[in-house]
Every structure is written in C-alpha cells, then in structure tokens.
Amino acid sequence: MATYKFMIDGKLIDSEKSFEVRNPATGEVIGSVAVSSPADVENAVQSAKKAQRSWAAKSDEERKKTLMDVAQVLNDNAPYLAEWITKEQGKPLAGPGSLFEMQACVGWTQVPASLDLPVEVVFEDDTRRDELHRKPLGVVGAITPWNWPLMIAIWQISPSLRAGNTVVLKPSEYTTIGTLEMIRLMNTVLPAGVLNVVTGDGSIGALLIENKDVNKIMFTGSTKTGRKIIDASKGNMARLTLECGGNDPAIVLPGTDAAKIAGDLFWGAFINMGQTCACAKRLYVHENDYEAVIGALDAVSAQMPMGNGMDDGIVLGPIQNKMQFDIVKSLVDDAKANGARIVRGGEPLGGEGYFYPITLVADIDNGTRLVDEEQFGPVLPIIKYKTIEEAIEKANDSDSGLGASVWGTDLNEAARVAKQIVSGTVWINQHGAIHPMVPFGGAKDSGYGVEFGVEGLKAVTQPQIISIKK
C-alpha cells in the first residue's frame, strides 16, 4: 500500500507518522498519508513567503500563462484525479460526479487566469489624482473540506495565485490523497514554493491559521470551525474568507407544474448525496400542490441508482464518513419519532460502506431538528405552507444564509419573493447553480467574504491608494 507524501518548496516530504484513508463505499484502505509536523507547517509557510516575492514580481501575463498551463495539467490528468475523488470521497465518476468535479477544476482555473484588475482612478480634479491599485496579500492559508475536495481547493488556490499570492493548503484528513496528487501535478508547471500542502488533523490546520506569516485565510466548512478560525487568526490579523455552510430553503410557488421542476429540484437537493453547502435542504410547498410535488420528486428519486461510484451506471454514492452518516441517521430517526411521514428511504441500506438511501420526509415543520439543522446528506424535509408570507418567514427562520431558491412560472413574482429571503444567493428555477464569473458567499452564520469572478479576485488582494499631487 502506497504512502502519499506532502509537498513543500516543490519537494515531496515523508514523515514517520501516517494515517490510513478508506473508500467510503467499500471500507477498504486505499492508501496512507504522511502526517506533517509543526516544523513542516512552519517550513511550508516560510517556503511560500520566500517564493511570494518573485511570484508577485512576475507580470500579470506571466502569471496568467502559468495558470493556463496548470489548467492544461488538470485537464490532461482529469481521469486519473477523478478516480481518486471517487475512491476517496464516494461520488460516482459519471453524472454530476468526479469527472464533473474535474471539469470544474479546469474551468475555475481558466477563469481567474482570464481576469484583470486594472488600476482604477477613484478621484481626479485639477489638483490631484487618486488611483486604486490591487496588491497581493502574501501567503494564503487554505483549509479545504471533504465534500468537493479538489474543486474547492482550486477555488482557493487559483485566484490566490493569479493575484500574486502563494499558498499553503491543508486538505481534509478524510480526502487527502487526491488533493496531494493534484498539487504534485500542478507543481510540475509552478515555481517551487508557490503552492505547498501540509497534512493531518485539525491541529495542523490550527497551526497554519495561527502562523504569524499567513496573511489571508480561506476556509470552507462548518460554522463551528469557522468561529474557531476567527478566534485563532486574531494574532496575525489575517484577512478571512469563510464559507460556513448553509441550510438552504427552496420555495415552490403555488400552481407550479411539479413534474416540470422535479428533475432540477432533485439535483438541487441531492447532488453529491446532499453533501454540498448550497444544496436545497428545506423544501416549502403550498398546501394545494403538496402531494403533487412529493409524488413528482418520489418518481424521480426512484430512477436514481446508488452504489459504488466506480461501477457503471451509478449516479449516487455513499455518505463520505461515519460521523456524517450518524448525523443523518440521527436526524431522520428524530423526525420519525416526532410523527413525520417517510415517503421514501428512512433507513440505512446496510452492508459495506456508508450508504443511506434518498429519503423524502413529509408532514414536518420548522422547529424539528431535521428542518432546523443542516443535515448535509441525502434527506429532504418537505414543509407545507398556506401563504407566501408564511413560506418566506419560515425560509428566513434560520441562522444560516448561504443560498435559497424560488420555483414558479411567474418570474416577477419569483423575483419579488427572492428579494425577501436573507441569503448570499437566491436562484430562480434552479438551485446551487454556481458559476466561476458570479460572486458567491453567505449571509448570517454562513460566513463572510465572497469567492469567484472579479469580486473573488479582489478578495485575495490588498487595495492600495496612490495619491498624486499635480
């Protein structure tokens, strides 16, 4: 069994300590990972700090070309890396799975490489000219989750490098090997020290966050961990971009054709087995359409084969780890104990792997755990409402505010409802439709700061005013 090494200053580094990585579909050990030490974290940050000077000194065109070379490496190695995603994370190769994730890695590298941040003249008169320049921040510490391990890493890496920063990344211990292999391959075209990776549990991430020479922290994960990062970064005053998950509501407006929207609603809720921050996690349906929408979703769910993502024809995989599997089971069990109706699923499938079926839960409301807590799994509570005002109130009744969606044929009415929902993004007749040119970020406890597009690129820079007396 191979042991996968982490990379500092362009060199692969081994360690006396290691941990095993298992396939969540089979339980088999698929490799081991060398564990970084506190000294390794310090070395990685210092390597990034040293490399940042020369990387930032390169022209925009040089950095853009290098990122395009990185995108080509990712494209050339997409099948290889996609297999690692499936074996480690569980999502199938096909459909909106691992090959899809790799396509996103390519696109989210190419787009920042195409963007410019020109000098802005913010004020000028006869006496003075004031220019706003965008400068790199320095060293970016990136902390990535296990649900979209390579794609979210790219979201943090690519804009940071484009802007002239360097990066030290700490991947989730659940999905480390694919990330290590991706960073190893990216380093074949990047200068040494520009992109480094350290490995281990949360204590290694904490050392990275607290390091005095880290200037920016990018994190995707739980609100609980996000709060710890805020506290831990007070010593170095690092700038923060925090995407802390969500409990996204979806509202189906009265009279909407259930059959027409069922397919898109299904994937809005269950892409990556619901293990996506911006999945639809609470569905609000008018009382007159309630059973029709439930029936349409049930019919779509029945057509979706679940199993080992390496097998042909599979579109749904396992939950990634036992911790999350137990959370999902606990929330469904609580709903059943409190009188909810299980339309589909509701019990673990058993056997090898963390398989939990697509589960539709009806006759449930706000105030129950399954509605109020982010399930982050293949379960959708469906809540009945009488008036649009009630639906909006219940949709906003959450500490989270990442995404939301409104579904209906009257786009003006859908927009009117959307504007009343407190979240970073509200989609209309779609859910989770992120785009590399469109800013994405949360409200309330879903974090702060934005990623993607020009605004995301600005977020990894320091504005500097050059004020000139004429």
The string of pLDDT tens digits covering residues 16-65 is: 999 999 999 999 999 999 999 999 999 999 999 999 999 999 999 999 99
Strand partners, 443: 401
Domain with 94 in it: what CATH number? 3.40.605.10
Does 196 reside within a domain?
yes
Same domain, yes or no, for 419 and 453?
A: no
Q: Which segments of 278-390 are extended strands (E)?
A: 280-286, 341-344, 359-362, 379-385
- pLDDT tens, residue by residue, 98-115: 999 999 999 999 999 999
- pLDDT tens, residue by residue, 294-320: 999 999 999 999 999 999 999 999 999
Looking at every residue in the chain, the average pLDDT score rounds to 97
- pLDDT tens, residue by residue, 396-435: 999 999 999 999 999 999 999 999 999 999 999 999 999 9
Give 52: exposed, middle or buried? Use CB within 10 Å, 0-12, 13-18, 19+: buried
352 part of the active site:
no
Mean per-residue pLDDT for 165-190? Answer: 98
**pLDDT in the model for residue 254:** 98
The token pair that represents 459 in the structure block: 């977020």
Same domain, yes or no, for 212 and 289?
A: no
105 part of the active site:
no
Please state, as a whole number, how many other Cβ atoms lie within 10 Å of the Cβ of residue 215: 23
- pLDDT tens, residue by residue, 217-250: 999 999 999 999 999 999 999 999 999 989 999 9
Same domain, yes or no, for 324 and 224?
A: no
**pLDDT in the model for residue 273:** 98
**pLDDT in the model for residue 272:** 98
Same domain, yes or no, for 291 and 190?
A: no
Domain with 17 in it: 3-244+446-469
**pLDDT in the model for residue 142:** 98
Mean per-residue pLDDT for 362-380? Answer: 98
Angle (nearest 5°) at CA 357 between 222 and 265: 70
**pLDDT in the model for residue 118:** 96
Same domain, yes or no, for 209 and 182?
A: yes
The number of domains in the chain is 2
Q: Among residues 173, 243, 374, 451, which one is catalytic?
A: 243
Q: Among residues 277, 279, 374, 451, which one is catalytic?
A: 277
Confidence of residue 1 (pLDDT cuts 50, 70, 90): confident
